[in-house]
């Protein structure tokens, strides 16, 4: 009888361990080095190495982007998820004026697209045009 309890307990421990391991592997992570300051979710993040991960293993909703060096981080909700696999994780940016806006995050399971407001792009272009005019360039 005691041996049966031990076997059942051991089996439960193994199942719990395998379940936790599966959850850890299911959470895709992207690590990328960004050579310039960039804007995401209205926040400017400094250049550096960033880790992008999902907050939930079950849901493809909110993402966290955080810096190894500066400790800067923010949360964002992608506009769209495309499950077409690209094969290589990376961050993609839209360049306007002298600013870079995070526009997509490619992961091993697909691409998260992030809306970049047209108004932000217009402002960035006007700021660059205004600085070029004021400096005489």
Would you list the domain boundaries of the chain?
A: 28-135
**CA gap 35, 14 in Å, rounded:** 44
- Dihedral sign for Cα 5, 7, 12, 14, please: positive
| Predicted pLDDT of residue 132 | 53
| Predicted pLDDT of residue 40 | 92
Q: Which residue has the tokens 């960004």?
A: 34
**CA gap 38, 113 in Å, rounded:** 16
Residues 40, 31, 84, 113, Cα dihedral to 10°: 0
| Predicted pLDDT of residue 20 | 37
| Predicted pLDDT of residue 13 | 41
| Predicted pLDDT of residue 88 | 83
| Predicted pLDDT of residue 27 | 54
| Predicted pLDDT of residue 60 | 67
**CA gap 122, 132 in Å, rounded:** 15
Low-confidence residues in the chain, pLDDT < 50: 5-26, 134-135
Report strand pairing: 110-113 vs 73-76. Answer: unpaired
């Amino acid at each position: 009888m005691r041996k049966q309890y031990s076997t059942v307990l051991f089996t439960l421990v193994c199942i719990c361990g395998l379940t936790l391991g599966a959850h850890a592997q299911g959470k895709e992570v992207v690590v990328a080095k960004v050579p310039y300051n960039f804007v995401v979710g209205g926040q400017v993040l400094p250049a550096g190495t960033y880790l992008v991960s999902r907050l939930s293993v079950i849901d493809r909703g909110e993402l966290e982007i955080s810096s190894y060096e500066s400790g800067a981080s923010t949360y964002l909700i992608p506009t769209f998820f495309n499950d077409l696999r690209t094969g290589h994780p990376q961050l993609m940016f839209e360049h306007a004026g002298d600013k870079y806006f995070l526009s997509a995050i490619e992961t091993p399971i697909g691409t998260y697209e992030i809306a970049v407001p047209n108004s932000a792009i217009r402002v960035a272009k006007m700021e660059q045009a205004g600085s070029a005019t004021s400096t005489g360039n």
